[in-house]
Amino acid sequence: MTTETNSPDVKWEGHDLVVQGPPGAIKEKFYQLLRERVSIVDDREFKLMFPDLHIAAIKSRIVIVEGNSKKRIKGIGIYVNKDDFVFGDDDYSDLIDIVVTHEIAELWYFSKTGYSLSPAPEALAEDRLNIAHELALRDEYRVAFELGKAERLLEFMERHHREKHPSESSLEENRRTYNLVKKRWEN
């Protein structure tokens, strides 16, 4: 007979991350453990794993609910394409940690215990990737403001979405989020 313990913890079991306990008690450790597992790769390696993506990506969002207060993220990995941060002589690699915050935040919104996006609340089931992305983008810009790098992050995103992977919608999304977080930051 197994008993489920409710003691807060976040730990690696092989390649799986097990999350258990109230979100407030485990969030910091969740972020810390995932930061330790970030892989910085070049463009060639990144494109082999994620041919349609750029900048950074999460390898797995498979979240398994185990009991009332425990979740397991299968085969997790966060990868950053270091070459996407360089434009000729201009190097934006000082922003990698901020971009990693976005990827970890997306996973957090899916896998935290309590109310989360996995399993998806029925009303949000179809849009949960967009919701997690939007919340994570806000976290990314909040951290950038805290570090005094918000304008630089927006500059990087503008260059990236104009020069490397053109996307007017992504560009607008970043501008909108920058302005939203800036307004909150100034108040």
Please check whether residue 98 is in contact with residue 140, taking contact to mean a CB–CB distance below 8 angstroms: yes
pLDDT digits (tens, 9 = 90+) for 55-97: 888 776 667 777 667 788 888 889 999 999 999 999 999 999 9
pLDDT digits (tens, 9 = 90+) for 88-141: 999 999 999 999 999 999 888 877 766 665 565 565 556 777 888 899 999 999
Strand pairing of 70-73 and 16-20?
antiparallel
Q: Is the pTM of this model over 0.95?
A: no
Q: How confident is the model at residue 179 (pLDDT cuts 50, 70, 90)?
A: very high
